[in-house]
A and B are shown apart, each in its own frame.
Chain A
Amino acid sequence: MIVLNRLSKIFGKTRSLDDVSITLHRGDAIALMGANGAGKTTLVRLILGYYHPSSGTVRIEGRDPIKERMNILDQVSFVPQLPPPIKLSLKELMTYICKSSGVDEARIVHYANEMKLDIAPNLHKSFFKLSGGMKQKLLIAISLAKESRIMIYDEPTANLDPKARDDFYRLLRENEQDKLALFVTHRIEEVASLVNRKIYMDLGKVVSDEIC
């Protein structure tokens, strides 16, 4: 369970998040929506413990994600909107993930295969030299292989073709039981079949929170 209590984040003179209080439960699949600058990314970064709140608190299973980041991140999978230009080879990146998170490499390969990404011929290639779609597929495979209780996807299908999107949705349905899934998206129609809750943000505030 994630509890945000009167959470605000201010950068200079800009209030990116303004007194937000929401509770996200296990079993929730949430679409987090809003225009650019609404505060969605700030909210996700506060949950991941990247930002220190200007006021208010974030608690994940009762814990502070900054003070107990390792315990919290052990339970979280995150896929960013744009795959970062990591220079490590696929093998090295997988080594980092397997050793830091205790993920079984065979599971990454399994989910990559499910996403129609053949890792073997690209194993020694730099991650950033893969195509946008291949990078996104690998990040999705890693997020699923990690078997986290909290899954955070920031526009996860932005680089995927329709077939890969279908694969992604299928894998999510198979894996979302008893988990908390948070989808940051501009297009509700893409995740409409997956979510049971829609949160709209604007100017740093939650303007609507619907159960569907």
Chain B
Amino acid sequence: MNHLLLIAYLDLKESIRANWFIIYSLVFGGLIALFFIAGITESQVMGFSGLSRLLLMYIQVTIVILPIFILITTVRSISGDRDSHILEYMLSFPISLQQYYWGKVFGRFITVFLPVFMAMIVAVVYGIFQGAEVPWGVLFLYTGLLFSMSSAFLGIAFFISSLVKSSEMALGIAFFVWIVLLAFIDIALIGLMLQNRMSEGLIIAIALLNPMEVFRVAAISLFDPELTVIGPVAFYILDLFSQGIFVLLSILYPIIIGIVFAWAGYRIFSRNDLV
């Protein structure tokens, strides 16, 4: 356990000094600043105003950029160290592979989650000083959704990182996974719906297996519990689950995905050639 925390601590320190982390933090911090400068909290669109509107905007942006940021920064964690022979040296010391791997996962999770979370907290603090009403319930659940989406993509990234021997290939696969989950599944499903008149239930089930889609719908439901903005699909979802159960599942499901992929990554890491 001590070694796990040591690895996590060292990975965290190394990441915080890295250029990618500075850019990553600036992007999320900058977004929040930009929203305030643009006066989003003062505007009102479709009934959303104040901090709720800001959080809604923040969700739209995080759906697109958070997964790709996590994937491209994390996917080189193991494969990059392998490429540069860092792994060869660091693992020449008596540290268990289990503690090394999970220490890296733990350290990297803090690195990727903290800037996103802190940016939101800064927004809330600033909003309070501006006299805006804080939607605490939404904020709490949205934090849960961010946590679970970060877990899912971190797990997927560690899986790719363990599976692929070269960091270049790992980056390519990470980008492919991101574009598939972001757009390709939707496009393919729309195509299937139009061409084959497949069962709506099946199509919606496939869509909701995508953690990015789950995050998107659950986040929207925080602001719009009837899910009116997503159209008729809302009937299927809300008939099947209540809004509360749906949000809860939307938090649990990506966490399970993250754990399963991270665990599969560990099995590959520990059972194959290390370098």
Contact of A99 among B2, B17, B85, B273 (CB under 8 A): B2
Asked whether B88 lies within 8 Å of A80 as measured between CB atoms, the reply is yes
Q: Measured between alpha carbons, how far is A72 from B93 in the docked complex, in Å? A: 9
Q: Measured between alpha carbons, how far is A96 from B275 in the docked complex, in Å? A: 20
What residues on B are CB-neighbors of A74 within 8 Å? 94
Report which residue of B85, B92, B94, B272 has the largest number of chain A beta carbons within 10 angstroms of its beta carbon: B92
Asked whether A50 lies within 8 Å of B275 as measured between CB atoms, the reply is yes
- A interface, by DSSP: helix, strand, loop or mixed? mixed
What residues on B are CB-neighbors of A49 within 8 Å? 274
B97 interface contact, C-beta 8 A: yes
What residues on A are CB-neighbors of B275 within 8 Å? 45, 50-51
Contact of B10 among A50, A69, A96 (CB under 8 A): A96
Q: Name the residue on A nearest B96 (C-beta).
A: A70
What residues on B are CB-neighbors of A76 within 8 Å? 92
What residues on B are CB-neighbors of A52 within 8 Å? 272-273
* With contact pairs A70-B96, A73-B93, A100-B93 given, residues A50 and B84 touching in the complex (Cβ less than 8 Å): no
B86 interface contact, C-beta 8 A: yes
What residues on A are CB-neighbors of B18 within 8 Å? 87
Q: Which of B85-130 contact A (CB under 8 A)?
A: 85-86, 88-97
Task: Write the nearest CB–CB distance from B204 to chain A, whole angstroms.
Answer: 44
* With contact pairs A52-B273, A84-B84 given, residues A100 and B94 touching in the complex (Cβ less than 8 Å): yes
* With contact pairs A85-B84, A87-B17 given, residues A96 and B6 touching in the complex (Cβ less than 8 Å): yes
B13 interface contact, C-beta 8 A: yes
What residues on B are CB-neighbors of A80 within 8 Å? 85, 88-89
What residues on A are CB-neighbors of B95 within 8 Å? 70, 100
Asked whether A87 lies within 8 Å of B14 as measured between CB atoms, the reply is yes
Task: Write the nearest CB–CB distance from B19 to chain A, whole angstroms.
Answer: 11
Q: Name the residue on B nearest A87 (C-beta).
A: B14
A1 interface contact, C-beta 8 A: no
Asked whether B10 lies within 8 Å of A88 as measured between CB atoms, the reply is yes
Task: Write the nearest CB–CB distance from A8 to chain B, whole angstroms.
Answer: 14
What residues on A are CB-neighbors of B267 within 8 Å? none
Task: Write the nearest CB–CB distance from B99 to chain A, whole angstroms.
Answer: 9
Q: Which of A112-130 contact B (CB under 8 A)?
A: 126
Q: Measured between alpha carbons, how far is A45 from B82 in the docked complex, in Å? A: 13
What 1/0 flags go to A85-101 for Cβ under 8 Å of B?
Answer: 11110001001110111
Asked whether A88 lies within 8 Å of B14 as measured between CB atoms, the reply is yes
Asked whether B273 lies within 8 Å of A50 as measured between CB atoms, the reply is yes
Interface residues of A (CB under 8 A from B): 45, 48-52, 69-74, 76, 78, 80, 82-88, 92, 95-97, 99-101, 126, 139
Interface residues of B (CB under 8 A from A): 2-3, 6, 10, 13-14, 17-18, 84-86, 88-97, 272-275
**In the complex, the 4 A-B pairs of residues with the closest C-beta atoms, listed nearest first:** A78-B92, A73-B94, A84-B86, A74-B94
Given contact pairs A48-B92, A52-B272, A82-B85, a sample of 9 additional A-B residue pairs in the complex whose CB atoms are under 8 Å apart: A50-B273, A51-B275, A69-B97, A70-B96, A74-B94, A86-B90, A88-B14, A100-B94, A126-B17
Q: List 25 A-B contacts (CB under 8 A).
A: A45-B88, A45-B275, A49-B274, A50-B91, A50-B273, A50-B275, A69-B96, A70-B94, A70-B95, A76-B92, A78-B89, A78-B92, A80-B89, A84-B85, A84-B88, A85-B86, A86-B86, A86-B90, A87-B17, A88-B13, A92-B14, A95-B10, A97-B93, A100-B3, A100-B95
